[in-house]
Amino acid sequence: MIDCICILFYLILLMSFVDLKYNNKRLILFVFPFLVLLISSRGTLGADTSNYLMAWNRTYTVGSYHENNPELPYSEPGYYYFCSFLKTLCNSTFFYFLVSSIITFLFYYKVIRRYADYSALALLIYFARFMLLRDMNQVRAALAIAIAIYSIKFIYESNIKRYTCYILLASSIHFSILLALPLYWYSHLKINKYYICVLLAVAFLIEYNYGFEMKSFLQRICFRYNFISDYTSDSSEYSSGLGLMNPVIYYQSLILLVYTFSERKLSANRLYYIYRNLYFFSTIVLILLSNFEVLSGRLSTIYATLEIFIIPSMLSIVRTNPLYKFLAWSVIVSIASIIFQLNVIKYFNCG
């Protein structure tokens, strides 16, 4: 399995190099079937996969559900009914993962092909940064986040009805996506780049000086209302975080600052300010909740996914110079390769 993952990664890397010259939006269509088959064939790999397999075994088919009236194995009823429908069609875990990943990547194919400056590079970044620990591990989150990313187009079109429908659909698969609902109005703001720097610095200062006080306060609130206690309680393995020692905080902050101070060259992109606002929100959440490893990761990763659009767009800064463009691509690919290797190690150690 690890050999297949590495071969596919380097195939996409090669495609991203070819794409530098030809920028063929349909090039990634060739590799999507291999991604889907890879995800579907993972067996029991992945820290959360065993939980999904147990939940699948507890899922009733459409015809027998009302007869048995079972306790739902998922918190989100929408996802249960989706699984129930799939199990009615075919009681196979391969089929379950196959259909889930096909739907997930259909959403990504649509948005990458339409909005990414370099589609193969966008796919490479997704593969390196997100796919192993999301699509090959957290099936619900993978599908729900794909829908949330697709729904951003309705923010740009100022179509709040369709945006709300898609976010509610995604939240019926994973409740965390409800966080995106009020961000419709926030996304339309044109936040000054200097305000972004100031607010970013303030977030670091708050976490540095009051991080443990905020952690205790949030724990008390969650305990009182019995809300996300699995992610906040000291007795839970998911609650402890690295705080400001988390390197992802500085990775995202650097990307945000480069993207922000390239505003003059990148703002011609119609979605620039929406992407920047949402990625800024993701980074602030990651900083302020950094004492809760899983909670900060689950909430910030929704719009951290926008790196698949943000990072390739940075090649536009040096588009007129082929040498600088190649050097920028080399830096991006090198960082993606390091992240990929770290995620491979984490995935197989946890799985």
- 45 within 8 A of 347, measured Cβ to Cβ: yes
In the numeric block, which tokens belong to residue 24? 């063929």
- 140 within 8 A of 49, measured Cβ to Cβ: no
Structure confidence at residue 349 (pLDDT) = 83
Residues of the chain with pLDDT under 70: 65-73, 222-240, 351
- 336 within 8 A of 128, measured Cβ to Cβ: yes
Structure confidence at residue 292 (pLDDT) = 82
Q: Determine the Cα–Cα distance for residues 266 and 285; give it in Å rounded to an integer.
A: 24
Structure confidence at residue 154 (pLDDT) = 96
Structure confidence at residue 66 (pLDDT) = 57
Cα separation values, 219 from 79, 216, 264, Å: 28, 5, 42
Structure confidence at residue 221 (pLDDT) = 74
- Using only the alpha carbons of the chain, give its radius of gyration: 20
Torsion sign (Cα): 125, 171, 32, 278: negative
Structure confidence at residue 1 (pLDDT) = 82
343 three-class SS: helix
Q: Determine the Cα–Cα distance for residues 66 and 33; give it in Å rounded to an integer.
A: 36
In the numeric block, which tokens belong to residue 346? 């984490």
Torsion sign (Cα): 297, 299, 304, 306: positive
Structure confidence at residue 2 (pLDDT) = 85
Q: Work out the burial of residue 279: count CB atoms within 10 Å of its CB; fewer than 13 is exposed, 13-18 middle, 19 or more buried.
A: buried
Structure confidence at residue 232 (pLDDT) = 61
Q: Determine the Cα–Cα distance for residues 219 and 226; give it in Å rounded to an integer.
A: 10
- Segments making up each domain of the chain, as ranges: 1-182, 189-319
Cα separation values, 226 from 83, 211, 222, 232, Å: 27, 22, 5, 10
In the numeric block, which tokens belong to residue 277? 């606002």
Q: Determine the Cα–Cα distance for residues 196 and 266; give it in Å rounded to an integer.
A: 16
Q: Determine the Cα–Cα distance for residues 257 and 188; give it in Å rounded to an integer.
A: 19
pTM of the full structure? 0.93
Structure confidence at residue 99 (pLDDT) = 95
Q: Which residues contact 298 (CB under 8 A, 6 or more apart)?
A: 141, 176, 231
In the numeric block, which tokens belong to residue 207? 């976490």
149-163 burial by CB neighbour count: b if 16+ within 10 A, else e?
A: bbbbbbbbeeeeeeb
Half-sphere exposure of 221 (CA within 13 A, CB side): 6
- 145 within 8 A of 152, measured Cβ to Cβ: no
Residue 171: what are its φ and ψ, rounded to 5°? -70, -20
Q: Determine the Cα–Cα distance for residues 71 and 196; give it in Å rounded to an integer.
A: 46
